[in-house]
Each structure stands twice: as C-alpha cells, then as structure tokens.
Amino acid sequence: SAVISQKPSRDICQRGTSLTIQCQVDSQVTMMFWYRQQPGQSLTLIATANQGSEATYESGFVIDKFPISRPNLTFSTLTVSNMSPEDSSIYLCSVFGLAKTGELFFGEGSRLTVL
C-alpha cells in the first residue's frame, strides 16, 4: 500500500484568492493523480502529474486554473487559482499501488470551502 499525506486537510477561503494543496507519498511513484469531489458527487479526475514534465489535464480543466507542480517522485502540489464558490470541493491526491491489482490509493483529501 501507499501512504499519502495531504495538507491542508481543510480550509475556508475567500473568493478570488488561490490556495495550494500539498501531497506527499511515502514511496517513489511515476504518476500522481489529482481528483475533485464536489458535494454529493463522485470523483472527477483533474489531471495527472508526471515528474519532469507538464501535467496532463482532463477535459474541462486548465493549467491556468489548476497549476500543478511535480518537483520529484514523492511530492506534488495542486493550486486552485482565483477561487469562486463553485470550487468548494474535496480535492484528493492519489497514486497507484505496487500490487498487481494496481488499485488507486487516496490521500485523506483537502476540503475547501470558498465564501
């Protein structure tokens, strides 16, 4: 299994500000994934963060709004820029495990509320 630490665990933010979420993994991984879970909804993949290259964004998500850094094989950050109330959500960092099942492990999530 993989142990994933995220911070902050929760925050209340003002409209128009930006917040950076950090994700630390206890092992080296090639890909790290950032998901969003809006209230009452399922998980939506924002982007895949690869070390040494730019992140790959899913349809509907852009780098200007969600810049991602991946400075090494155990760490990544996701910034939510120029926040609006619609960005109120749980943001989850995840990685594939090393078992042959290859399941996705999740961090505890960062719950953001934008006022």
Contacts with other proteins, residue ranges (CB under 8 A): 31, 33, 41-45, 48, 92, 96, 101-109
Number of helices (H), then strands (E), belonging to the chain: the values are 0, 11
CB of 16 to other proteins, least distance (A): 27
Q: Which residues of 66-105 are buried (b: 16+ CB within 10 A; e: fewer)?
A: bbbebeeebbbbbebbebeeebbbbbbbbbbeeeeeeeeb
Which residue's CB is nearer to other proteins, number 13 or number 45? 45
Which residue's CB is nearer to other proteins, number 10 or number 15? 10
CB of 22 to other proteins, least distance (A): 16
Pairing state of beta strands 104-106 and 110-114? unpaired
CB of 57 to other proteins, least distance (A): 12
Which residue's CB is nearer to other proteins, number 19 or number 29? 29
